[in-house]
Structure 1
Amino acid sequence: MSGGPAPDSVLVYVGLDLVGDGLMKLPFVRALRNACPDARIVWLAGKGRSVYSGALAPLVDGLIDTVVEQAGVGLGWDELRQPALAGTPLAGQRFDLVIDTQRRVKTTLLLRRIPHRTFVSGAAGYWLSDRRPPRDHRRPPAMIRQMLDLLEAATGKPAVPTVTRVADPESAALADRLLAGRDRLVGFAPGAGGRQKCWPLDRYVELARRVAARGRTPVFLLGPDEADWAARIRDALPDAVLPLQDPAAGALAGSPLLTIAVAAHLDAAVANDSGGGHMLAAADIPLLSLFGPTPPAKFAPFVSRGAVVRAQDFSGDGMDAIPVDAVDAALETLLAAARHGHR
């Protein structure tokens, strides 16, 4: 690390991690382990639970050593009456590096009490931080880029979120079975938390038809809210694969881990601004993201190879402004770049 020896212990503070949070933060977790390969890394969820100790635990196996959730840390001034981290499994411990990922000044002041050698926080423009970005730094809109900036401030080096292909063995084996005998796979995640963020399904079908005509196999990843689209897709595309609707998927059909395991088999994928898009990104495959009412600068998934098509580029804000031809061309460009190893 810049300015001192590499840390033997790192504590990362978050409020809590829901599934979407955990997926978006994965590049930071990977970059942190790359920057501190030998450190003991503790993930402290001070205000709630963390999926890193539950549903997404296999994705951080070997990257995070300890997850402490619902710690009751960083909540209020009454904590000043006790030593830092009192009442948690971390009581009495000191950390070489503490990274505060939230920006509430009150919480940051409470966290600075944790015994440390170096404390890094972006709160109040890094005012309470021992290390800061360059003077000309401007806070980026994307949450994951903000977190990577914290790591770069701490280490003085670029953050490198290289993917370690960590997967739940059960999900990986099931994905192998569901896709057995298939190759040249291209994924499509047509759903989203709000239908206003969905590119029309008939355009996904038309795009998949073109992809199939070029000798590739369409793979549709449908969540529970899109399950009623399955029959329509199968009627239009008899050779398409719908692995999450396969009876063999069983109880894992709704698991993010299975979606990520399936994604690891794909040559590329297309998704809306959605949780499904972030699950695909967790496998770090070439990803084309479609945006309309939400800003890609803030919400686009973080991948090594990615591209964005915006409705605004076609004089509209609604997803129906995006033409199939534009998405088709962008997907082929992404596939060609991936084949030739370009970022």
Structure 2
Amino acid sequence: MSASWPVAEGQGAPPPVRRVLVIRLGALGDFVHSFGPFQAIRQAYPHAHITLLTTRPFMELGRLSPWFDTVEEDTRPSWLDWRGLLALRHRLRGYDRVFDLQTSGRTARYFRLAGRPAGWSGHKAGSPLSHANPWRNDMHTHARQRDQLRMAGLDTVPRPDISWLLACGTMTLPRPYALLIPGASPQWPLKRWPAGSYGELARILHARGVRPVIVGTEAEKPLAAEIRAICPDALDLTGQTTLPDLAGLAAQAWGAVGNDTGPLHLAAMTGCRCLALFSRLGNPSLAAPMGDMPEQVRVLWVRDLALLPVQRVAAALW
């Protein structure tokens, strides 16, 4: 693996890399897609002090992982909050390398706050390590991040070792069971297959000897209640699982069915057989969950998930 600094002919050896900053703010699916890059950065700089800058929901996950020495919170201050911006500028400065894996409009401004360092890897032009690929916005997150690291001198991004994550989970269930993930971002209701359809699918699963297990956040309990009204044998774990718990359950599950949402990406990372349901608001070629084996992840894409028949989803599972 190479992690070299671009050196002009006649110049001496590049300076050592002692301090590295990785920026990955969210959301969960994108954070999971960065596991491989996180590990690649750690392997490229085994003796450097590596800091993760992220948002509060992912700080604990970053601390549990073996990839970072320090995890700091980005409070995402308003551009009018000069005190917050001064604090953020302080967090962004003093690094030999910065890997902006968020590559958003917001983090493009971070490049300027950091003082336009030459060791910045991201989508913002101005650094020798910039991801200067004109097709980057047409690439899946998985491929785009690998190409970004390649242009920064990291030639190989490994399949991430997530044994640390699975070891942190504390939940076990009798098998076989299937995870149902009926939630999605609240601001995008069209990304959700109707809870009533999940309920009908749960009845089919139970009739075939697979216990349906509903997972999600506390805010998704009403969806779980609607599913259980149709299939009382479904187990409701919404609001009861940590991310390590969810990963551990997924690793032992018969399968998982879910919308275009972060927990399904996490399930796919564990090797769980997954069926992802996409509406016209999502593009599977850019953001589908990624598996390690052929046919591990299947995708059903329809313009309107409300019109996706339960039998079609059930058929895709068998």
Same fold by TM (over 0.5)? yes
What residue number does 2:68 align with?
A: 64
Q: How does 1:170-249 map to 2 (within 5 A)?
A: 172-173=169-170, 175-176=171-172, 179=173, 182-192=174-184, 193=186, 194-234=188-228, 236-244=230-238
TM (norm. structure 2) is: 0.73
What residue number does 1:12 align with?
A: 22
**How far, CA to CA, are the matches of 2:89 and 2:113 in structure 1?**
12
**How far, CA to CA, are the matches of 2:154 and 2:262 in structure 1?**
32
C-alpha contact 2:40 2:154 (8 A) present in aligned 1: no
**How far, CA to CA, are the matches of 2:226 and 2:121 in structure 1?**
51
Is residue 308 of structure 2 the alignment partner of residue 319 of structure 1? no
**How far, CA to CA, are the matches of 1:319 and 1:294 in structure 2?**
10
3-state SS in 2 of match to 1:271? strand
Is residue 111 of structure 2 the alignment partner of residue 108 of structure 1? yes
What residue number does 2:57 align with?
A: 51
CA RMSD of aligned residues (A): 3.9
Q: Which runs of 5+ in 1 are unaligned?
A: 245-251, 312-316, 333-343
C-alpha contact 1:51 1:57 (8 A) present in aligned 2: no
1:150-189 CA deviation, whole Å, 9 max, x = no partner? 22322352433424133386x722x12xx2xx11221111
What residue number does 1:277 align with?
A: 264
3-state SS in 2 of match to 1:155? coil
1:72-98 CA deviation, whole Å, 9 max, x = no partner? 99x79x99xx9x99745x86x442x32
**Per-residue deviation at 1:271?**
0.4
1:18-77 CA deviation, whole Å, 9 max, x = no partner? xx52452233144332353224321235xxx443434x345x42122112334899x79x
Which amino acid is 2:261 matched to?
Answer: S
* Corresponding residue pairs, total: 293
Instruction: From 37, 41, 45, give the equivalent of 1:31.
Output: 37
- Are the structure 2 counterparts of residues 129 and 2 from structure 1 closer, same or farther at C-alpha, using a change threshold of 3 Å? farther
C-alpha contact 1:112 1:119 (8 A) present in aligned 2: no
TM (norm. structure 1) is: 0.68
Which amino acid is 2:169 matched to?
Answer: A
C-alpha contact 1:42 1:66 (8 A) present in aligned 2: yes
Which amino acid is 1:190 matched to?
Answer: P
1:276-334 CA deviation, whole Å, 9 max, x = no partner? 434534645222111113123344334433221011xxxxx2112222233223223xx
Q: Which runs of 5+ in 2 are unaligned?
A: 6-15
**How far, CA to CA, are the matches of 2:100 and 2:115 in structure 1?**
9
**How far, CA to CA, are the matches of 1:199 and 1:52 in structure 2?**
26
